[in-house]
Amino acid sequence: MYQTESVHTYPRMLISAIAWLCTLLVVLTSAQVGFMLLRAFWGLYGQPEGLVTELPVLGSVVSWIGTDTRPYDQLGPVLIGPLLLAALALFTTLILRNAFPAVRSSSQGLLVEFAGAWLPIPWEHVLAVKVTEDHASEHFVLLVQTDKQHLTAWHRIYSLFYAHGLNWQPAFYVTSSISEFDALIQTMISESERTARASETARPIQLQEDAQSPVFRLILSPKAFFSHTPHEGHASSPKPPVLAAAPVDSVAASVYPARITGLIKATVIGLVIVTILRYLGFWAHFLALEFPALRWIPLFNWRGGDPAYTQLFNAYATSAVPFMGVPDRPDLPAPWWILVAAHLMVLLSVAVIFWISHLLPALEIREQGIAVYDWLRRRWRVVPWNRIQALKLTEISEESQVLLLQSRALPLSQSLTSLLYDGSFTPGVVITSAISNFQPMLEQALGQIVALEEAGGPTVLQQEARSRLLWHAMDDRTALAEMVSAVRADPDTRTLQPATLLPAGLLMAALALPPALLVLLAGLLGDVVPGWGMLFAALGIWIFGMLEWPAITYGSTILDAKTGGGEDGYRAVPLYPISQLPRLLPLLVAIVAQIAGIVVLPVLAWIGAMVWTFWLARNFWEALYEWRDSQAILGGLLPIVWQLLVLIVYLVVG
């Protein structure tokens, strides 16, 4: 019996979204290259004065693009940056457009779409299928690996990005969003087994359900990423090189799985490298402004294509630019501020690096207290039992709990952890149930803490001190259901209550703050001395962002009343900021990227926050107003429109 051919495709909305994103990347980078070429061409041969005279509207465009008057033989270094960005955009487009290919299956094998063509893969050449699933086993990402003969060299990148082991065989992704997903997987397994029985050399597909990707596990389900699974490998326990070893009756050092420690270490190493490169870049800009002989060396000419630098190089062709900047030209780079921005960037980057490195540390229970491992310094830091100020618990599920250990004995940089957890400022470290020996470690710690409390010490254990941000980020639907159920139990919540408006307003102020911080950082870490305009722009974006709260909640209340609801009154007003708290996480990534100076990443992280905002808002309206289908989609799009306006203002100002 032969399998009839079937075609499996992804939803058009997903494919269209990827296509539009890739188009935007290519258009923006191509426009940058085009502008550079036009500046160089006009600098060599003059601007098109006749065309500008006939079409006056082109005058503003030509003046905005500007002119580069450098000689022809010095244009190469200027074009390197834009050309590399364009090449990166084309490479990203190639990878993204083919990441989710259509698949055709038959009795002979698979046909996988790639760049508008179909690549045939016989069943005997499909080697393995690695599976990553979410916490509820509802969504899947499969990496289908083949031999080297039937897929291109580009397909190795998908194995590399899957990030499981060093077996970078050519592969493609299959997700549960593809049409007839279950039927496709069943066909692959059954046809592979049939082929193996009919051939002495062929082997059936190896279905590797334990070969989960840390990247896709985090994307599919943060709750699963930070949960412990049985027989899961952990990173090797760090040795305590400074302090005395733990007592005999204590458990071994508790460490996190390699997927978590590897992600943190890779992030820290990446930030260190980017910080060093950017610091050297600041110095290169400074030296190019102060020493004319260096300006034509590519190493010191990174910003040579910038019209502001071109003006300075032309005006001070044989002399140094004034150290304090050009008089009466605050819009041009100032050498002294470049040095200030360089060291301010290093200061902020070091603080971020220390915070991330201490975010999920290895722990050890000792007689003196809880030992926290600092892998940057390769030593342990003991937090005495009597200096632990709070141990706060957020229970996501039976398999997933998050604790916050707070103490003044921890590094000051960890105040940000507590601030994100519940808005407090005492330094803290997060402990999740993904750590090894979680239950024994927790029982020993609770035994010591309870003994201190019974002896008259302050209350440390706070079992009801949930982190609303983490709860909504990891299990939004359950958190919303409990939150809505709690407010509906009180009929007074249908009306506006001053006691609930102030906390909600403070939360909304926190939600609106990251875009304003992005504007401030763009100004402070730039090469132009920041002025009052930057401060006013940041303040304006902050206030405009806060206006999302009354605009969206009032609009949703009217929409609910017009569509036959209205029984919940103004309950959305105090609840809406709480429901949107998880968007702070990608916006925090945007802030870190802005500090590090990673091009485009802040905007991409912001767009990611907007996508998450849509799902958060949609879930919120479904839980509160029981909106469904198009009405729920419209509710999810309401804050997106507002966020788009804020993003446009940021792009114009920044």
pLDDT tens-digit profile of 244-288?
334 323 445 788 888 788 889 989 999 999 999 999 989 988 998
The residues, ordered by sequence, that sit 6+ positions from 168 with a Cβ below 8 Å of its Cβ are 156, 159, 160
| pLDDT of res. 561 | 82
The residues, ordered by sequence, that sit 6+ positions from 565 with a Cβ below 8 Å of its Cβ are 625, 626
pLDDT-based confidence at residue 224 (cuts at 50, 70, 90): low
CA distance 525 to 534: 12
SS3 at position 106: coil
Residue 229 in this model has a pLDDT that exceeds 60: no
pLDDT-based confidence at residue 29 (cuts at 50, 70, 90): confident
CA distance 445 to 594: 39
- The better pLDDT of the pair 363, 220 is held by 363
| pLDDT of res. 228 | 59
Mean pLDDT along residues 398-413: 88
Neighbours of 439 (CB within 10 A): 11
Long-range contacts, stretch 590-596, CB < 8 angstroms, 24+ apart: 590/514, 590/518, 591/514, 591/517, 591/518, 591/521, 592/271, 592/352, 594/517, 594/518, 594/521, 594/522, 594/525, 595/345, 595/348, 595/349, 595/352, 595/521, 595/525, 596/271, 596/274, 596/275, 596/278, 596/349
CA distance 143 to 170: 10
Mean pLDDT along residues 462-482: 87
pLDDT-based confidence at residue 238 (cuts at 50, 70, 90): very low
The residues, ordered by sequence, that sit 6+ positions from 28 with a Cβ below 8 Å of its Cβ are 89
CA distance 143 to 132: 9
Residue 483 is inside which H or E element, if any? Answer: helix 476-488
In the DSSP assignment, the letter for residue 413 is G
527-to-303, 336, 344, 522 alpha-carbon distances in Å? 11, 9, 12, 10
Which amino acid type is present at position 131? V
CA distance 301 to 295: 6
CA–chain centroid gap for 298, Å, is 32
CA distance 437 to 256: 10
Identity of the highest mean pLDDT range in 53-67, 187-201, 340-354: 340-354
- Residue-wise pLDDT tens digits, 514-541: 999 999 999 999 888 988 888 999 999 9
**385, 452 in Cβ contact below 8 A?**
yes
Mean pLDDT of the chain: 83
Return the CATH number of 360-469, one of 1.20.59.10, 2.30.29.30, 3.40.50.2000, 3.30.70.120.
Answer: 2.30.29.30
**410, 390 in Cβ contact below 8 A?**
no
Residue 36, both tokens: 């550079």
- Among the residue ranges 3-12, 330-339, 493-502, the one predicted with the least confidence is 3-12
Mean pLDDT along residues 150-178: 84
CA distance 387 to 227: 28
| pLDDT of res. 304 | 52
Which amino acid type is present at position 434? A
- The better pLDDT of the pair 76, 122 is held by 122
| pLDDT of res. 50 | 67
Mean pLDDT along residues 222-241: 53
- Among the residue ranges 73-82, 329-338, 585-594, 599-608, the one predicted with the least confidence is 73-82
CA distance 353 to 518: 18
Residue 89 in this model has a pLDDT that exceeds 60: yes
Token pair 């009756």 is at which residue?
Answer: 249
Residue 542, both tokens: 């902050």
Residue 619 in this model has a pLDDT that exceeds 80: yes
Which CATH code is given to the segment(s) 103-217? Answer: 2.30.29
Neighbours of 642 (CB within 10 A): 20
Radius of gyration of the chain (CA): 28
| pLDDT of res. 248 | 29
Residues in the chain: 654
Mean pLDDT along residues 163-170: 74
CA distance 314 to 569: 65
In the DSSP assignment, the letter for residue 376 is T
CA distance 434 to 453: 27
The residues, ordered by sequence, that sit 6+ positions from 205 with a Cβ below 8 Å of its Cβ are 126, 127, 128, 129, 188, 189, 192
Residue 112 in this model has a pLDDT that exceeds 50: yes
Residue 3 in this model has a pLDDT that exceeds 60: no
pTM of this prediction?
0.77
**169, 127 in Cβ contact below 8 A?**
yes
pLDDT-based confidence at residue 31 (cuts at 50, 70, 90): confident
Residue 94, both tokens: 């190639």
Residue 243 in this model has a pLDDT that exceeds 50: no
Mean pLDDT along residues 299-322: 76
| pLDDT of res. 514 | 95
**371, 381 in Cβ contact below 8 A?**
yes
| pLDDT of res. 590 | 94
**552, 545 in Cβ contact below 8 A?**
no
Query: What percent of the chain stands above pLDDT 90?
Result: 24
